[in-house]
Structure 1
């Protein structure tokens, strides 16, 4: 029985038995090294990989939240917490608008708050949908942020353009030159001050050669590309204004480029037109819609049905183009 017990103990020994184990002079066996408990080992691996802490059940079940930076009121709409900016003014009805910052609710001065709350609830489906679309568009724009380096890509008139750092020449003092690499090497799209209009339908691949040294900083590349794009924007916008003004029976007097974050254009009664230079990223049909939109304001200075009828006479599919303008994600500068 004693031998059987010894055999059983030997099976669980971590070290092989010594040949002199049963002698009186043998040293006592050392206990096996302790192994870290499994939870500790798992925790160490997690810490080494810098995994973010797991969300709690409360965090996972928390409602989605949309909050305007200037929010003054809050509502729970279809399980979504919406903090919105509330404004009173000289208007006849309650109005809703969803922009990059969130929801804005405007109401006449005489409408009580309980009626405004009721109107917000009745409009909840539309509000939540627009907020979700706006956030998704913002996320797409963030993912499209440009990394300013040789070989980066960006849209120009609806076509993807590859930026090439080319220190060999100054491109006639205009800082850049657009080339169609899908065609022959002689097919160069000159876009200097005296260039003719160049349309780009169906171009497979374009390269924008910028006159910079190969060790140019990201800021230098960005500034050079922006300067080139703004020159092209001024040229294209001027041409499209001259093209559409006679169709609408109006005359514009001055064009200015803007860098507004959320506004594509504006028009003044004196014939001044302001257009966002970033429109040059869009295809020409979208640019044409914005140009016609602003020129139409020289006839109708509001957004009444008469205004949209004026736009429709020149751009029948303006609604589709307007939707593209809102939904398409432009690169972040």
Structure 2
């Protein structure tokens, strides 16, 4: 902050000489006026948003936003659009000319940009939730934070302690991991992941057994997956595959995914009849489905 200091000088003289004429201070030399600096274009100050697929082979400018996307030729009936973690993928039949693809991309520009921005925000939230694996690290389990405690006295493996003193703002769950304080981050992560996967198998089996009779279906095998974009799959032979990272979510969200996959044993598509089947056991599935999409999980 600029501070202005006013200095006043008072001169006291006994008797100024009468003949002394007042001496005028010389006029200050005129200062040159600096040339006006041209305003920087707004486009140079605010860089336009861009989205770039790592396998991009085509590009477009949508409402001033540069989008480099992956373009694929597929055996399909129409042009398809998919926005994932990597960006936009456009698929088109072999007989559709590129000018029609370009026109379709422009026509869907509002939807594409909204999906790309949502995917970017989700990626940023996931990056912010990245876990630093050390003593005191925190990760979600069934919707609650769990604190990692490195405790070599516990032997090998990990044990969940729910008896920690519950203080305001302090997680009440601690996972005691049988590793020394100087354990490598990768080792801590592996022990915690193994513990979570054991909890996932136990919990998923319990929820499958709960919902299968309600839906009048029978599941035969549970497999855990680590898929990046799929939470579960169901096969007609009764095999259910569930992503072990679902244990980060609250139990109602897990129940939605379990009921979703079991419902596929009755209806092997996503028709209205399928969603009606899901609603018989999970009436608020739409809200839970939104939580599954919006909530950011820690990156492993």
Same fold (TM over 0.5): yes
Calculate the TM-score normalised by the size of structure 1: 0.72
Structure-2 residue corresponding to 1:63: 48
Distance 1:59 1:303, change over 3 A: farther
Partner residue of 2:86 out of 95, 101, 108 = 101
**Shift in Å at residue 93 of structure 1?**
3.3
Inter-partner Cα distance in structure 2 for 1:60 and 1:183:
49
Instruction: Specify which of 173, 178, 181 is matched with residue 214 of structure 1.
Output: 181
Q: Does the 8 Å CA contact 1:166/1:209 hold for their aligned counterparts?
A: yes
8 Å Cα contact 1:255/1:275 also seen in 2 = yes
C-alpha separation in 1, matches of 2:41 and 2:228: 37
1:247 aligns with 2:247: no
Q: Determine the C-alpha separation between the residues in 1 that align with 2:209 and 2:157.
A: 23
- Do 1:167 and 1:211's aligned partners in 2 also have CA atoms closer than 8 Å? yes
Superposition RMSD on alpha carbons, in Å? Answer: 2.3
Q: Return structure 1 stretches of 4+ with deviation > 6 angstroms.
A: 55-58
| Equivalent-residue separation in structure 2 for 1:66 and 1:313 (angstroms) | 40
Task: State the alpha-carbon separation in 1 of the partners of residues 94 and 247 from structure 2.
Answer: 41
Distance 2:274 2:101 in 1: 29
1:311 and 2:278 matched: yes
Q: How does 1:132-171 map to 2 (within 5 A)?
A: 132-170=117-155
> Paired residue for 2:160?
177
| In the alignment, structure 1 residue 125 sits paired with structure 2 residue 113 | no
Please give the alpha-carbon distance, in whole angstroms, between the structure 1 residues aligned to 2:215 and 2:96: 40
Match status 1:81 vs 2:48:
no
| Number of the residue aligned with 2:194 | 227
Q: Secondary structure at the match of 2:152?
A: coil
Question: CA contact under 8 A between 2:162 and 2:173: conserved in structure 1?
Answer: yes
Cα distance in 2, alignment partners of residues 128 and 250 from structure 1? 41
For residues 60 and 240 of structure 1, the distance between their equivalents in structure 2, rounded to whole angstroms, comes to: 54
Q: State the Cα distance separating 1:315 from its structure 2 match.
A: 1.6
Partner of 1:113: 98
Matches within 5 A, 1:297-308: 297-308=264-275
Alpha-carbon distance, 1:134 to partner: 0.6
Stretches of structure 2 that go unaligned for 5 or more consecutive residues are 1-39
SS of 1:303's partner is coil
Task: Flag structure 1 segments of 5+ consecutive residues without an equivalent.
Answer: 1-54, 185-202
Does the 8 Å CA contact 2:157/2:177 hold for their aligned counterparts?
A: no
Q: CA deviation at 1:252?
A: 0.9
Length, aligned pairs only:
259
SS at match of 2:268: coil
